[in-house]
Structure 1
């Protein structure tokens, strides 16, 4: 998947995303599970924001007093994130790395993979490797929090659906189809972006692939990577997933 052009449209398209809900949820989980055994009481908690994209959540966590490090695979996304952080006077280091091959970033008290970014990993091995690399970068007792699309959302909400937006300066047509692997979906997106200088719309094509797994599988992989699963919640609430829940949160602690 390429974000080369999509990176510069992302913030406008995601302008209504509930970023503050992610921050609230993480802070509440930290409060629920008390102080982390690996954190330094006199210093801010260190949080590793994986697949940070354009840095919207990284910036919010930094404003809440966390010491944030952002990581993303896309150089273009990171350019947008750095420009944004600099403009707000936020000292956030950003690194271009594949989260399945994470290395050399030091130890953190909290690691997060938000906005269903984990679902963009295509293979089971990539998920397994990501969990393993996150474990290496967490202090003992550190928390790992991530959210994924539910099986219901992938198999019932997305499939064979068409979404469209007719607006200025961006319009789009978004078609979703079943992927080749179980519990996967392919998104074909056509964006029409207004070029005010030329007085015309440019067309940008994007193809995105997402895959999710059953709760039992995520739980087993977390255990293999050295995590204790603390909780599984749904849709930003501290409740167990229901049959029609769309976003599933996993909260795990490094053993």
Structure 2
């Protein structure tokens, strides 16, 4: 068995970029939501996604005819996004940058952070730095969306360190079966969970190629998130509990904030 791991100085998504792109290619639960929200921002809206990854959300917005840009700290993920954007009528721009501290020299009508990506920021100073950078790049009448998980609901996986089969898929390049295993452990005092992913690819000769990565996510409670947004110069226009625009309640899966810059 061969094995590769993400080192401490390496972005945890770099060595799993192709696997990640394939694993989440079929996840589209939020796409209609974002297409509708960008529509509300205007037909000529300039769009920026922070932590865009391999373009899962960015590219459908490009396909819908919007001027889109994506920002991510993983160059490997951006390389996939750029390759997938080839052939579209419109042109997408992708920037290698840290969402905690970026300067693009322009403003956008719609900025968003999708699917819990904000939770990779593990301290309040990091969170505020990110929100301040987003506000700085948001046009005066623009919309900002923050999409995080509601920590009040029970996690899909127990945080007891047990390794569970998460999913399976075929590697589109060679047809090999890839099995994805996941374990989680909790650090309640830090409002964090540690996730460890193992991607086992079974080669044609039945040998195993293993790729391992891990990262922490911080859980953010409702009024904590609202204080962060307020402190960073945002006013909250709407709070949804799902991608179907349902009103938020304690049992909602999501905390989706629709915000504008304060006057």
How high is the TM-score relative to the length of structure 2? 0.84
Q: Which residue of 2 aligns with 1:253?
A: 260
Shift in Å, 1:229: 0.4
Say if 2:36 is the partner of 1:28.
yes
Q: Of residues 201, 208, 216 in structure 2, which corresponds to 1:209?
A: 216
Q: Which residue of 1 aligns with 2:17?
A: 7
Find the residue that maps to 2:30 and give its secondary structure. helix
Q: Which residue of 1 aligns with 2:108?
A: 108
Shift in Å, 1:222: 1.2
Query: What is the distance in 2 between the residues matched to 1:176 and 1:35?
Result: 38
Say if 2:234 is the partner of 1:232.
no
Post-superposition CA distance 1:52-106 (Å, at most 9, x none): 1001211101111211011000010001111111154541110000011011241
Shift in Å, 1:235: 2.0
Q: Which residue of 1 aligns with 2:182?
A: 174
- Flag the 1:96–1:156 CA change in 2: closer, same or farther, 3 A: same
Q: Which residue of 1 aligns with 2:198?
A: 190
Query: What is the distance in 1 between the residues matched to 2:203 and 2:105?
Result: 40
Shift in Å, 1:180: 6.0
8 Å CA contact retained: 2:193, 2:216? yes
8 Å CA contact retained: 1:52, 1:70? yes
Find the residue that maps to 1:152 and give its secondary structure. coil
Q: Which residue of 1 aligns with 2:58?
A: 58
Find the residue that maps to 1:56 and give its secondary structure. coil
Q: Which residue of 1 aligns with 2:5?
A: none
Shift in Å, 1:167: 5.4
Shift in Å, 1:157: 3.7
Find the residue that maps to 1:206 and give its secondary structure. strand
Query: What is the distance in 1 between the residues matched to 2:221 and 2:135?
Result: 21
Post-superposition CA distance 1:27-48 (Å, at most 9, x none): 43456xx556xxxxxx721000
- Flag the 1:201–1:226 CA change in 2: closer, same or farther, 3 A: same
Say if 2:60 is the partner of 1:68.
no
Superposed CA RMSD: 2.1
Say if 2:251 is the partner of 1:244.
yes
Q: Decide which structure has greater helix share.
A: 1
Structure 2 unpaired stretches of 5+: 1-10, 171-176
Structure 1 unpaired stretches of 5+: 37-42
Find the residue that maps to 2:115 and give its secondary structure. coil
How many corresponding residue pairs?
Answer: 243
8 Å CA contact retained: 1:235, 1:249? yes
8 Å CA contact retained: 2:67, 2:90? no
8 Å CA contact retained: 2:82, 2:94? yes
Query: What is the distance in 1 between the residues matched to 2:93 and 2:189?
Result: 36
Shift in Å, 1:128: 0.6
